[in-house]
Chains A and B, each alone.
Chain A
Amino acid sequence: MVLVLLAVAAVGFAVAPLAAAWAWAKFFSPQKPGKDKNAIYECGLESKGDAWIHFRSEYYLYGIIFLVFDVETIFLLPFAVAFTGLPPGAFVAMIVFLLLLVEGLVWAWRKGVLNWK
C-alpha cells in the first residue's frame, strides 16, 4: 500500500511539472504561428530538399583510409623530432609501420577505392 502511494507520488512528481508546462503553453503563452515560424529553422536560409539522402558506401572506405593516415601523422611528428637520437631498432620498427600503411594505401589504390565515382 505504502509502495503504491509512493509510486503514485513519484510519477506525479515527474508528470506534474510537465503537465504544468503544457497547460501554461496551451492557455497562457501568446501563440502567433506563421509560415516562417513553423518552417524548419536553420541559419535563416530556407531549407531546401530532403534530409533523407543516400550516402555512398565508398565514402566509409575513403574515410577510414583518411583516418589511418591522420593517426599516422601523430606518430610521424615525434618520429621526426627524435630522429637523430633513435636507436636502429626503433628506426626499423617505425619504417616497418610506415611501409605497412603505404602497402595498405597501394592496395586501396589498386582496388580503385580512391577513384571517386
Chain B
Amino acid sequence: MIEEGLKNELQKQGVYVTSLQELYNWGRANSVWPLTFGLACCAIEMMAASMARFDLARFGAEVFRPSPRQADLMIVAGTVTKKMAPLVVRLYNQMPEPKYVIAMGACAISGGPFKQGYNVLKGVDRYLPVDVAIPGCPPRPEALLHAIMTLQEKILNQKLTGPDRPRHLNADVAGEFPVPAYGKHDLEPPNNPEVWQPPAIQR
C-alpha cells in the first residue's frame, strides 16, 4: 500500500501509481448495470434519467438489464406491495454478486403516501440491504443521478480485504436473503431480522 502523500508527489512528476483494489473498484463503480425494474411512478423518473436529457450513460449505468442474471444494481422504483415483496427479494437473490440496492422514492423507503395501506410494504429495507435511499415523491432524475454518484463513491471506498470487506468477498456470509411467504394477514416473516429490526420504543 502506497502512502497518499507519496502518491500525490509522484503524480506531480507525471508518475501515476495505483493499487489493484483501486483499479478493481474503479472498474466496478463505472459499470453499474441496473435491473429494468419499475414498480410505480418513480420508474417514469428512472426512465427519464436513462434518456438523452439526463443521460445516465455518463456514469456507465445506462445498460438496463431485463434479466437479474446480468444486473448489479436493483433500483426499487416505487411502491412495494406485499404481493410484490417476495418477488422483489427473489429477483435480488437471483442477481450475481456484487449487488447493490437503491431505494428510490418515499414509497420504497417507507411506504410513502400509501403507508397506511393494508397491502403496502413499509419500506423495502425490511427485507433487503439498501445502500442508497433517495427521498422524494417521486425524486427527480437528478436525484437518481446523485444516488448513482453516491453509490459509486461507496463502491470506490470499499476495502477488498479485512473484516469489513463487502459481502460478496466474504465466503461466510450467506448470499441469499430469505424470501417472505404470503401469510394469512401479513407476510411471514414481516421483516428480515438480520437486516431490519422494528425501532424500540423508549419510555
Interface residue ranges, A against B (CB under 8 Å) = 30-37, 39, 41, 43-46
Q: Is the CB of A37 within 8 A of B93?
A: yes
Q: Is the CB of A32 within 8 A of B175?
A: yes
Q: Is the CB of A36 within 8 A of B93?
A: yes
Q: Is the CB of B176 within 8 A of A30?
A: no
Q: Is the CB of A34 within 8 A of B176?
A: yes
Chain A residue at minimal CB-CB distance from B173: A32
Q: Is the CB of A44 within 8 A of B97?
A: no
Chain B interface size band reads 10 to 19
5 smallest A-B Cβ distances: which pairs? Answer: A32-B175, A44-B87, A36-B93, A34-B176, A30-B168
Contacts of B98 in A (CB 8 A): 30
Chain B residue at minimal CB-CB distance from A44: B87
Q: A30-B97, A41-B67, A41-B69 are in contact. Are A35 and B87 (CB under 8 A)?
A: no
Chain A residue at minimal CB-CB distance from B93: A36
Q: In the docked arrangement, what's the CA distance between A26 and B175, Å? A: 17
Contacts of B97 in A (CB 8 A): 30-32
User: What's the dominant secondary structure at chain B's contact region?
Assistant: helix
Q: Is the CB of A37 within 8 A of B175?
A: yes
| Most chain A beta-carbon contacts within 10 A, residue among B69, B88, B94 | B94
Chain A residue at minimal CB-CB distance from B24: A28
Chain A residue at minimal CB-CB distance from B98: A30
21 A-B pairs with CB atoms under 8 Å apart are: A30-B98, A30-B168, A30-B169, A31-B97, A32-B97, A32-B175, A32-B176, A33-B175, A34-B176, A36-B93, A36-B176, A37-B93, A37-B94, A37-B96, A37-B175, A37-B176, A41-B69, A43-B87, A44-B87, A44-B88, A46-B90
Q: Is the CB of B169 within 8 A of A41?
A: no
Contacts of A44 in B (CB 8 A): 86-88, 90-91
Partner of A32, one of B69, B87, B90, B168: B168
Q: Determine whether B68 belongs to the interface, using a CB cutoff of 8 Å to chain A.
A: yes
Per the 8 Å Cβ criterion, residues 57-84 of B in contact with A are 67-69
Q: A41-B69, A43-B87, A45-B87 are in contact. Are A36 and B94 (CB under 8 A)?
A: yes
Q: A30-B98, A44-B87, A44-B88 are in contact. Are A36 and B67 (CB under 8 A)?
A: no
Give min CB distance, A41 to chain B, whole Å.
5
Interface string of B161-190 (1 = CB under 8 A from A): 000000011000011100100000000000
